[in-house]
């Protein structure tokens, strides 16, 4: 296959948690000897290049980064939204993506003469930025990337249709059982998303960070819902590395991994709510108390949501900003580790000592946990996370729910948290969840191995764009 005939241009969404998926996909495509150009704002490119330097693959030379300056962004005072936990302070950054339309078009015009074909892979929330692709570059084609589960995406689309184009099968899940978006996505954010989605349909195909081995039925429903036989759908995930042993052996390990080495198998629960969620001090205090009363060992990542510029003064959360009950950390010193900074999540989930993951159910976290065979204690915060929580608990049956999926802004008491942790980590129910998660992990890992469903679909995508 002649990789030099085609170049891929990645256009990620302007938000920290979206950077990694397309960086991981960049390395996957680079392994096919395809040059990849990763384009975004200067701040996010600075962050993603730091991540790229620590990527376990040796393909960094195939990935070229392009940074574009944005005008100064108004950064509202950081105030966690305790009703939805949505990072509404990032909305000015989302809206600033409109300024990338011109520099992105100029980049395409610069690359166009050098290659037979330019393939643009853009986050679905950047559709307006790439709207000029076909008009200005005759040898370019675009593919939208959806970073959420096929399940959540289908039912989100389905719920928004006043008239349904077809009937669901009796074996399909009743849509009335599935959490809606009201309250979990602020109206002004939904307006932005819908504006981006209005530019969809111009692309040649769609990519998904999932596997048909995991979400085959929901991929079928998405294809049917599109109603366009020319639109190609490729489920080529998970993108995250599966074989963690490929990491450089001399790389300095995080201290929590050294601590985990000393713990018993499946004895530790990992707790993290992602980079776009802020939990109130009151809720953290309840979680701390419930964790203490459970008697279970833990690794807890506790931090506020990222700001628009993590490199600006105050952009990175300082430890002192997130207090825990007085004396708690001293009492828990031998039981667990509290991390107030970046944590190597994939390596933590892949460690033999981890027996469960208390998560906000962002899709990256969900599919990483599933691919590593770790069950999920689902605590959704905002966006499509309640749908993902339903998927892992009710459909895939590799998780249990911490709080009611329809509730908003309600404090989860320490007694409920204690109960969930004990159910997951010290009960027959928890053992069954772990066994199910291990089986599901083997299925997902098999799908990305040579000859597996995702591997074959990836080969098909590469063959298509290099045709």
List active site positions.
18, 123
Q: Let me know: does 308 contact 90? Beta carbons within 8 Å.
A: yes
Q: Phi and psi of 282, rounded to 5°? A: -65, -45
Cα angle: 167, vertex 169, 175; to 5 degrees: 75
Cα diameter, the chain:
65
In sequence order, the 6+-apart residues with CB closer than 8 A to the CB of 264 are 353
Q: Phi and psi of 24, rounded to 5°? A: -65, -40
Structure-block tokens of residue 206:
């769609």
- The count of C-alpha atoms lying within 13 angstroms of the C-alpha of 272, restricted to the half-sphere facing its C-beta, is 26
Structure-block tokens of residue 31:
């392994």
Q: Let me know: does 402 contact 287? Beta carbons within 8 Å.
A: no
State the Cα–Cα distance between residues 80 and 84, nearest whole angstrom.
9
State the Cα–Cα distance between residues 369 and 355, nearest whole angstrom.
11
CA nearest 125: which of 91, 171, 80, 102?
91
């Amino acid at each position: 296959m002649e990789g030099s005939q085609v170049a891929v241009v990645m256009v990620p969404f302007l938000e920290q948690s979206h950077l990694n998926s397309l960086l991981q996909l960049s390395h996957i495509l680079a392994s096919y000897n395809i040059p990849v150009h990763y384009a975004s704002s200067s701040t996010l490119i600075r962050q993603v290049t730091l991540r790229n330097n620590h990527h376990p693959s040796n393909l960094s030379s195939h990935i070229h980064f392009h940074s574009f300056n944005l005008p100064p962004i108004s950064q509202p005072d950081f105030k966690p939204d305790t009703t939805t936990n949505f990072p509404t302070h990032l909305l000015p950054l989302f809206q600033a993506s409109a300024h990338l339309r011109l520099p992105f078009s100029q980049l395409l015009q610069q690359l166009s003469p050098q290659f037979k074909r330019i393939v643009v892979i853009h986050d679905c929330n950047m559709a307006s930025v790439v709207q000029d692709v076909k008009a200005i570059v005759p040898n370019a084609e675009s593919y939208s990337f959806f970073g959420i589960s096929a399940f959540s995406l289908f039912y989100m689309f389905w719920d928004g249709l006043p008239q349904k184009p077809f009937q669901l099968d009796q074996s399909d899940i009743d849509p009335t059982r599935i959490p809606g978006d009201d309250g979990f996505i602020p109206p002004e954010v939904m307006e932005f998303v819908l504006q981006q989605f209005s530019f969809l349909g111009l692309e040649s195909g769609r990519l998904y960070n999932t596997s048909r081995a995991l979400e085959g039925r929901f991929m079928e429903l998405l294809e049917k819902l599109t109603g366009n036989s020319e639109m190609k759908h490729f489920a080529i995930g998970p993108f995250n590395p599966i074989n963690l042993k490929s990491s450089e052996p001399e790389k300095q390990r995080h201290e929590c991994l050294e601590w985990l080495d000393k713990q018993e198998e499946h004895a530790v629960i990992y707790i993290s709510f992602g980079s776009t969620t802020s939990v109130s001090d009151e809720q953290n205090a309840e979680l701390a108390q419930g964790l203490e009363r459970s008697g279970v060992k833990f690794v807890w990542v506790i931090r506020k949501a990222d700001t628009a510029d993590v490199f600006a003064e105050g952009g990175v959360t300082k430890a002192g900003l997130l207090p825990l009950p007085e004396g708690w950390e001293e009492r828990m010193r031998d039981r667990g580790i509290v991390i107030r900074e970046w944590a190597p999540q994939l390596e933590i989930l892949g460690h033999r000592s981890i027996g469960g993951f208390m998560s906000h159910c962002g899709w990256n976290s969900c599919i990483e946990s599933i691919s590593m065979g770790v069950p999920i204690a689902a605590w959704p915060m905002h966006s499509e996370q309640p749908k993902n929580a339903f998927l892992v608990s009710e459909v895939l049956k590799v998780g249990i729910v911490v709080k009611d999926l329809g509730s908003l802004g309600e404090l989860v008491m320490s007694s409920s948290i204690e109960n969930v942790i004990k159910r997951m980590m010290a009960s027959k129910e928890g053992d069954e969840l772990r066994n199910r998660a291990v089986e599901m992990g083997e299925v997902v890992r098999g799908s990305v191995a040579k000859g597996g469903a995702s591997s074959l679909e990836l080969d098909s995508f590469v063959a298509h764009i290099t045709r």
